Amino acid sequence: MNKFTVLTRTILIVATAFVAFNFFPLALNAQDNAVSQVSTGEQFVVSFTPENPDSQRNSPHAWIAEIKTADGEPVTNATIMVDGGMAAHGHGMPTRPRMTENLGDGHYKIDGMQFHMAGEWQLNLAITVDDVTDTVTFDQVIQ
Amino acid sequence: MTRRYFAVTLVAVIISVAVAGTLLFGNASLSDAELKVARSLSLASLPKIPPDPSNVVADNADAVQLGALLFDDTGMSANGLVSCATCHLENRQFQDDLQFSRGIGTTDRRSMPLRGVGYQTWFFWDGRKDSLWSQAIGPLENAVEHGFTRSQVAKHVLATYPDEYTRLFGPAPKLAEIPPASPLGNQMQQANWQQLSEPTRDEINRIFVNTGKSIAAFERTLVPLENRFDRYINAVSSGQEPGEDATLSKQEINGFKVFAGKGSCIDCHSGARLTDDFFHNTGVPDPNNPPSDRGRATAFAELDADPFTCLGRYSDAAPDSCLDLQFMAREVDLFDRTFKSPGLRGIAERPPFMHAGQIETLEQVIEHYNNAPPAPLGHSEIVPLGLSNREKADLLAFLRTL
């Protein structure tokens, strides 16, 4: 390989990088949202999703928490506390969501969820069953 | 060999031109991702106006008509000279260009433009009202705005618009001779209110509320207007060459990138109305010395005491549809000196800025956010941006397209 080929290739790589960097900036964060997670103390397997996927993020709306034991049995007598925030911006949610209904079969309705900013939110659930509390945090990208 | 030299030279020239071009003009086209963000700020992303279940006549055409008359009616003021339109002028984006508004006296905050107001959740700079109709009746009884009382409003509306009122709200009660009376008025007006029977107070309240509901119906028709930025985004997203009234300069496009990127403006000024409808402490100066306006922090007690909320007896909503109030975040400390993010449509044409008009020019607003001084009270959420002079100029140019 003579030195001109090396030079040409180097220049082409630099040029490509330059064009890519300038004309195709990083796409918006498209990270997949976790579907279900094991709680910190490994007591529960938890999923947390919007009740209606078409909900407007910046109006209060409901999410559904589904709670199972590590063996996959539904947990039907839990009490759930929810808060959230954006670590990157140092603020919490614009609302104070709360559990409004035990829907049975390990499903619970959390109403009053609202996100006034797009981006990565941390949603913290504290799940209490028979005086034992375990927590789980979801990193959730809200568009 | 000669061809290789040629190829190398050609590539080098292309790169030099690209680098020089970028340095001189910046990258003035929008990537797909940037266009998506830009579109989220344009009118194309404006949803349908949300219903107001607390106001049964919110979208009633007769109420819109009556509301338009009431909006301009100076008969609902202590001196017969003040109407809603006094501080919300139609040809001035429904605001008044003043630092402090002038009604019977002088207010301590700036009047807000009204286009798009039907989309809001919280009203006034501190969000002490949770519906447009409840907001609309506030100034009528404010001593420095209309300086009127609810008993006078009720009598005036029944006397001036008897047919319109009856058509919308059914037969009106006959109000006996009642002196100016209000639980929020001066000492004498409050004493007069105390002397009224509970059913009479309720009748007055209901007419007062219906007045607000009609004004709200009218105000819901004040939709945001299309601007040059909207037209540009429309053209570009449909693959057309932007027409003469729809072009954005390279500087304006670069300004959008600052707005949505390094400037972080979009964090709070998002969506087609360019607001998150929430409350933030951005460390703006307080015109009072010592600083005294605590903004949202004092609104919670007012909402609790207000009979005219979504959860009150004069609301048409089922309590379980009052989600904003039911799930409201309300820690006084967290909200100290926070104020509602205003929408930015038409912003360049309506100085002075901020809740008390304390910043005179848009250049100074940009300087404020770039410097991020500590808050006079509470804790400022913003951090210094490190914008160059060129980025500041670009941002200003972009704001002028809105």
The reported pLDDT for the residue numbered A27 is 32
| Residue B247 located in a structural domain | yes
Q: Are B360 and B390 in a shared domain? A: yes
Residue (of A85, A84, A92, A82) closest to A126 by Cα position: A82
A8 vs B8: CB contact, 8 Å cut-off? yes
Q: Which two tokens stand for residue B158?
A: 């029944």
Q: Are B161 and B231 in a shared domain? A: no
Q: Are B233 and B376 in a shared domain? A: yes
Locate tokens 């339109």: which residue? B85
| Residue B3 located in a structural domain | no
The reported pLDDT for the residue numbered A89 is 85
Residue (of A43, A38, A46) closest to A66 by Cα position: A46
Between positions 137 and 166 of B, the ones with CB within 8 A of A are none
Domain count, chain B: 2
SS3 letters across B177-236: CCCCCCCCCCHHHHHHHHHCCHHHHHHHHHHHHHHHHHHHHHHCCCCCCCCHHHHHHHHH
Q: B121 contacts in A (CB within 8 Å)?
A: 59
CATH number of domain containing B238: 1.10.760.10
Q: B271 contacts in A (CB within 8 Å)?
A: 58
pLDDT digits (tens, 9 = 90+) for B40-94: 999 999 999 999 999 999 999 999 999 999 999 999 999 999 999 999 999 999 9
| Residue B357 located in a structural domain | yes
| Residue B354 located in a structural domain | yes
Q: Which two tokens stand for residue A29?
A: 């964060």
User: Which of A8, A60, A97 is closest, CB to CB, to B7?
Assistant: A8
The reported pLDDT for the residue numbered A18 is 52
Q: Are B67 and B115 in a shared domain? A: yes
How far is CA B171 from its chain centroid? Answer: 35
pLDDT digits (tens, 9 = 90+) for B299-337: 999 999 999 999 999 999 999 999 999 999 999 999 999
The reported pLDDT for the residue numbered B18 is 53
Whether pLDDT at B19 is above 60: no
| Residue B273 located in a structural domain | yes
Determine if the peptide bond prior to B352 is cis (ω within 30°).
Answer: yes
Instruction: Give the residue from B219, B251, B283 where a domain finishes.
Output: B219
**What percent of chain A shows pLDDT beyond 90?**
69
Q: Are B197 and B108 in a shared domain? A: yes
B328 vs A91: CB contact, 8 Å cut-off? no
pLDDT category of residue A29 using cuts at 50, 70 and 90: very low
Pairing mode, if any, of strands A98-104 and A44-50? Answer: unpaired
Q: Which two tokens stand for residue A59?
A: 């109006």
The reported pLDDT for the residue numbered B344 is 98
| Residue B384 located in a structural domain | yes
Sheet architecture: strand order including A91-92? A91-92, A79-86, A119-129, A132-142
The reported pLDDT for the residue numbered B11 is 62
A97 vs B327: CB contact, 8 Å cut-off? yes
Q: Are B127 and B67 in a shared domain? A: yes
| Residue B300 located in a structural domain | no
Report residue B154: phi and psi, to 5°.
Answer: -60, -45
Q: Are B370 and B394 in a shared domain? A: yes
For chain A, say whether B13 makes contact (Cβ under 8 Å): no
Q: Which domain holds residue B269?
A: 23-46+226-295+336-399
For chain A, say whether B267 makes contact (Cβ under 8 Å): yes
Q: Are B233 and B207 in a shared domain? A: no
A8 vs B12: CB contact, 8 Å cut-off? no
pLDDT digits (tens, 9 = 90+) for B166-209: 999 999 999 888 999 999 999 999 999 999 999 999 999 999 99
pLDDT digits (tens, 9 = 90+) for B227-283: 999 999 999 999 999 999 999 999 999 999 999 999 999 999 999 999 999 999 999
Q: Are B235 and B210 in a shared domain? A: no
The reported pLDDT for the residue numbered B29 is 87
pLDDT category of residue B6 using cuts at 50, 70 and 90: low
B278 vs A116: CB contact, 8 Å cut-off? yes
pLDDT digits (tens, 9 = 90+) for B92-104: 999 999 999 999 9
Element (H, E) at A119: strand A119-129
> Residue B229 is which amino acid?
F
Which residues contact residue B21 at a Cβ distance below 8 angstroms, ignoring those fewer than 6 apart?
Answer: none
Q: Are B38 and B73 in a shared domain? A: no
Q: Which two tokens stand for residue B217?
A: 């119906």
* Cα separation, B380 vs A113, whole angstroms: 25
Instruction: Give the residue from B203, B219, B235 where a domain finishes.
Output: B219
- 3-state SS assignment for residue B283: coil
Q: A118 contacts in B (CB within 8 Å)?
A: 270
**Average pLDDT of chain B, as a whole number:** 94
Q: Are B269 and B357 in a shared domain? A: yes
The reported pLDDT for the residue numbered B26 is 46
| Residue B82 located in a structural domain | yes
For chain A, say whether B41 makes contact (Cβ under 8 Å): no
Q: Are B254 and B182 in a shared domain? A: no
User: Do the interacting molecules here have an ipTM over 0.90?
Assistant: no
Domains and CATH numbers, chain A: 36-142 (2.60.40.1940)
